[in-house]
Amino acid sequence: MEQKLPLDGVTVVEICHSFAGPYAGSILAQLGANVIKVENPGRGDDARAWGPPNWGNTSTSYHAMNRDKSGIALDMKDETEAAALRRFIVEEADVVIQSLRAGAIDPLGFGAAELRALKPSLIYCNLSAFGNVGPLKGKPGYDPLVQARSGLMSVTGNGGDPVRIGTSIVDMGSGMWCAIGILAALNKRNQTGEGTTVDASLFETGLSWMTVHMAGYSASGIVRKPMGSGLVEIVPHQAFTTCDGHVMIAAANDSLFSKLATAIGRADLTTDPLYSTNNARVINRETLIPLLNSILATNTASHWVDVLDAAGVPIAPLQTIDQVAKDPQAEALGIFQKPEGVSDLALTGIPLNFDGQRPALRRLAPDLGQHNELVLGKEESK
């Protein structure tokens, strides 16, 4: 029996490109919404060309962000094609998401005010770089620029050259916030019948990731610096070097530190006033961390994973992507999904289960203009 998903019956028109907006659309699609992606008929979404690696003629990045969607290609400056899309939105759509550059959508007749005047129940989500007010409201923005401006890069790395977080965390986080806002607006519409304009931005997402650091700065006036894998507030809570690799240890309270110290043969550290409490360990991290590292470096990563796990200390090996692909826990969860008949492309599913079942991979990302008949009519379909 086909899985019934939470957003079955909801139709979304996605006028987005790159990663952030398409990730919002992908979340909604995996939740069951009928997401129709709108692309320029010439080259389509820029992300189609963000390879290699490619799968077929399209980048794997595009596939990762656009699974489970339908796709149309039309010229929004063409009066006939624009009218067809506008008619489809008014007649069929529940949600519109747009992430075109600032000021580009309104002159085309697809802004929130115009569409919601035609359909008051419509939920319209604007995703911009810096928001709709302020001195940067019209500026373009990209994930690494926002990682820099929001302060994320200032607390990432080991204090050398600036380090970008190794995934597009601002783009994908912005997509998540769009999806959350849209879900909240759908709930409001169920209660009132009214639509909502939802606004999100990359910069606000970047700032939201800095919430703990900002609170710490506000209270102390101390400007935080990069700490590698460690945390300002908890010690030991970082990666350590073994004789053949690294392990991540998270002894987040005094009880866990006691278990760690005992397991490595240094139970005396738990009664040493320099290290007996987390406050003391934070203050004296410069002596404690080298001490722990000198002990952990005497054996292998797998040895310490076994020993500390048995002792009840949270520990994990630092895995590379090929190891993650074969991780038995990931395999048990079934989060890496392959379309039927395809063996060389795995896409990561949504990290949610409903009644014990993860939404299945229904379809790969659409070819450019693959589903034009949905909006333009079969005679226009490619």
pLDDT-derived band at 68 (thresholds 50, 70, 90) equals very high
Which residues does the annotation mark as catalytic? Answer: 171
Token reading at 126:
């604007």
Residue 346 is which amino acid? A
Residue 357: HSE in the Cβ half-sphere, 13 Å Cα cutoff: 12
Q: What is the pLDDT of residues 314-357, one digit of tens each?
A: 999 999 999 999 999 999 999 999 988 888 899 999 999 999 99
CATH fold match for the domains 11-209+338-380 and 237-241+246-317: no
- 315, β-bridge pairs: 249
Mean pLDDT, residues 352-377 taken together: 94
The predicted pLDDT at position 174 comes to: 98
- List the chain domain ranges: 11-209+338-380, 237-241+246-317
pLDDT-derived band at 1 (thresholds 50, 70, 90) equals low
The predicted pLDDT at position 102 comes to: 81
Distance CA 283, CA 356 (A): 44
Average pLDDT, the chain: 95
Helix (H, G, I), strand (E, B) or coil at 307: helix
Supply angle C-alpha 319, 144, 97, rounded to 5. Answer: 100
The predicted pLDDT at position 377 comes to: 78
The DSSP bridge pattern shows strands 54-55 and 58-59 to be: antiparallel
Q: Quick check: 238 pLDDT over 90?
A: yes
Distance CA 307, CA 6 (A): 43
Q: Can you give the pTM of this predicted structure? A: 0.93
Token reading at 52:
């290699």
- 124, β-bridge pairs: 96, 197
The predicted pLDDT at position 223 comes to: 95
The predicted pLDDT at position 273 comes to: 97
Phi–psi pair at 37, nearest 5 degrees:
-90, 130
Mean pLDDT, residues 39-51 taken together: 93
Contact present, 287 and 274 (Cβ < 8 Å) = yes
The predicted pLDDT at position 382 comes to: 41
Q: Quick check: 98 pLDDT over 60?
A: yes
* Range 11-209+338-380 classified under CATH 3.40.50.10540: yes
CATH number of 237-241+246-317: 3.30.1540.10
